[in-house]
Amino acid sequence: MCERLSKRNRCAATTLGRSDCITAGGLWRIAFSLEDLGEAVHHHMKTERNNEFVKEVANQKYEFGFTTNVETDVIPKGLNEDIVRLISKKKGEPDWLLEFRLKAYRFWTTLSEPKWGHVHVPPIDYQDISYYADPLAKKPKNKEIDPELEKTFDKLGIPLEERLALSGTAVDAIMDSVSVKTTFKKQLAEKGVIFSSIGEAVKDHPDLVRQYLGSVVPYRDNYSAALNSAVFSDGSFVYIPKGVRCPMELSSYFRINARNTGQFERTLIIADDDSYVSYLEGCTAPMRDENQLHAAVVEIVVMNNAEVKYSTVQNWYPGDENGKGGVLNLVTKRGDCRGVNSKLSWTQVETGSAITWKYPSCVLRGDNSQAEFYSVAVTNHFQEADTGTKMIHMGKNTKSTIISKGISAGHSQNSYRGLVRATSNADNARNYSSCDSLLLGSDCGAHTFPYMDIHNDTAIVEHEATTSKISEDQLFYCNQRGIPTEEAVGLIVNGYAKDVLNKLPMEFAVEAQKLLSVSLEGTVG
C-alpha cells in the first residue's frame, strides 16, 4: 500500500509539478531525478486509459502525503520514566538533561489535558504513541545519509546537497525524531554562528543549552510543553554571537514519516547583543488515517539590540475531506525580548494540520523592545484552528503589532485568540491588533477571542476585527473580466492576506501564495 501510494503521489507531483510546482517549505525547487520521471510517465500511461488517473490527480490536494520506505528504529510505544531514560540514553545526554526530562515527566503526570480551546481534540492515547523514531539508525555504511532519505527531501524540494541549494539558505532537515542533516554548518561557523540540531548542541555547547533551555518556556508552562520537555527530540539550535548579522537565512524542515509516532521537536534560538537572524520553518507529513501528534516547543531569546525573524509555513497533513486523520499541531512558541531595543517578529502561514492550537508569543521584557505577529490561518474541510498570539508588555516603551487573517472554508472552524497584557511597569506600552476573518461557505465558522489586560494608564491598546465573506460584487467584477470564480477567489484571498504574506521572506511568500490557493481549491462551486 505504501509503495502504491508513494508512486501515485510521485505521479501527481510530476503532473502538477510544472514550473510552478508547489513546494511546502517553498524555498526549494522540486528536483526530480530522471528515474522518477520515467516511472511516473509509465504509470501515467498505464492508468490513463480508464481515466482514473485524472480523477486521482484532481482529488489530490495534499501533495506531500507519501511515505518513505526507510528502516526506522522506533522505540516501543508508551510513556513512562523508563522511556524518558531510554530517549535520553539514545541521544547520549548528560545527567542534568535527563533530570530536566524526568522532572518534566513527573510534572506532566499530574496534569490533565486542557479543554478550553475552540477545537475538538480527539482523545489521545499517550501510551499508544512511540516517542522516538530514528530513520538514521540503519544507514548504509559508506554513505553520510541514506539515499532514500535524500530522495525524500529532494522530493519535498529540500536539497541536502549544498551545491544544489539556493544560495543564502542553510537547512536543518529533521525526520521524525532525528536531524538528518544540517547544511552550511562550516560557513556559518566561520562567523561564529552555531546552527545545529539540539542533540548535537547538547554535546558541543552544553553550557549554552543548559543556560537557556526551558528559560523561556519552562516545563511547567502547560500540558504539551511539559510533555515535550519530557520526550523532546531533535529540533534546531541557533546561537548568533554578539554583533553578528547571520549571513544567510536559516531554516529547518520537519517531516513526520514513521507510523504511530509523534514529533516532539524542540528549537532554541539565541540572538546575542546586536545580532540579527531570520529563521524559517516548514513541515509536512504523510497521509494517514489516524491522527498524529506534533507537540513542539520553540524558545527564542533576544538580547540587547538584537533582532529575530521567525517565519513558519505550516503544512502538516490536514486530514482528508471527511476530517479523517491529520496532524494534531499543539505547539508552544515563545520569544523573550530580554534586551533593550530588541525585536522579534513572528510570521506564520497555517494551512495544514487537522487541529492547530498554538499561540506564538512575545514577552517584551526589555525597554523599547518591539514585537510583531503576522498570521494567515486557512482552514478547509473539517480542520480546526485556534491560534493567535500573546503580547506581554513588561518593559517601558514597548510596542507590539498583531495582524491576523483567518480564512475558513468547508466545515472548518477558525479562531483567533490573543492576549495583550500591559503590566503596571510597562509605561507607554503600545499595541495595535487587527484580526479579520473571511468566510467561504455557510457551514464554516470564524471566531475572535481577544483578551486585553491593561494595568497601566499610559498604555494604548487597540483591537479591531471584522468578519465577512467575499462580496458578490468583487466576484462579479472578476467574472466579468473572464476570471473564473475559483481563480477569482484565490485572487481575492491573496489580496486579503497580502499584509501578512508581504512579511515573509520573498521566496517563501511566493510559495505561500500558491499554498493558499491549493488549500482552498474546491471551496467554490
Partner 1 sequence: MSSEKQYIDLFEASKALICSHSAAALNAVRDQAFDDFKRQGFPSRKVERYKYTDMAELFAPDYGLNLSRLDIPVDPYSVFSCDVPNLSTSLYFVVNDTFYKKVLPKASLPEGVEVMSLREAAEVHPELVEGRYAQLAKTSDDAITALNTMLAQDGLFIHVPKGVKAERAIQVVNILRADVDLMVNRRVLIVMDEGAEAQLLFCDDSADDRNFLSTQVIEVYVGENASLDLYCLEETHEKNTRVSNVYVEQQANSRVSHDVITLHNGTTRNMLNLTFKGEGAECWCNGCVIADKGQRVDNNTLIDHQVGHCDSHELYKYVLDGHAVGAFAGRVLVRHGAQKTTSQETNQNLCMTKAARMYTQPMLEIYADDVKCAHGSTVGQLNDAALFYMQQRGVDQHEAKMLLELAFVGEVIDQIKLEPLRDRLHQLVEKRFRGELGRCQGCRLTRPLADGGCKR
Q: Which residues bind partner 1 (CB under 8 A)?
A: 116, 118, 424, 437, 439-469
Nearer to partner 1 (CB atom), residue 83 or residue 438: 438
Distance CA 237, CA 270 (A): 8
Taking alpha carbons only, the member of 180, 156, 160, 178 closest to residue 169 is 160
Which residue in this structure is represented by grid cell 500500500?
1
Q: Provide Rg for the chain, Cα atoms.
A: 22
Cα separation of 95 and 285, whole Å? 33
Q: Closer CB to partner 1, residue 89 or residue 455? A: 455
Nearest by Cα to 499 from 440, 432, 444: 432
Nearer to partner 1, 230 or 355 (CB): 355
Contact 399, 372 (CB under 8 A): no
Closer residue to partner 1, CB minimum distance, 113 or 453: 453
Rank residues 71 and 464 by Cβ distance to partner 1 and give the closer one: 464
Taking the complex as a whole, the smallest distance from the CB of residue 472 to partner 1 amounts, in Å, to 10
What is the smallest separation between the CB atom of 501 and partner 1, expressed in angstroms?
Answer: 23
Do the Cβ atoms of 310 and 344 come closer than 8 Å? yes
Taking the CB of residue 174, how many other CB atoms lie within 10 A of it?
Answer: 26
CA–CA distances in Å: residue 416 to residues 102, 374, 436: 34, 12, 9
- Sequence-ordered strand ranges (E) for 40-137: 73-74, 133-134
Measure the CA–CA gap between 148 and 184, rounded to whole angstroms: 21
**Shortest distance in whole angstroms from residue 411 CB to partner 1:** 10
Smallest separation (angstroms) from partner 1 to the CB of 430: 9
Q: Which residue in 397, 379, 375 sits closest to 388, CA to CA?
A: 375
Query: In angstroms, rounded to a whole number, what is the distance separating the alpha carbons of residues 154 and 36?
Result: 11
For residue 163, the minimal CB distance to partner 1 (Å) is 49
Closest CB 396 distance from partner 1, rounded Å: 12
CB of 457 to partner 1, least distance (A): 4
Contact 261, 371 (CB under 8 A): no
Residue 215 or 222 with smaller CB distance to partner 1: 222
Judged by DSSP in three states, 335 sits in strand
- Minimum distance, C-beta of residue 456 to partner 1, in the bound complex (Å): 6
Distance from C-alpha of 511 to C-alpha of 513, rounded to nearest angstrom: 5
User: Given the complex with partner 1, which of 116 and 480 has the nearer CB atom?
Assistant: 116
Nearer to partner 1, 305 or 448 (CB): 448
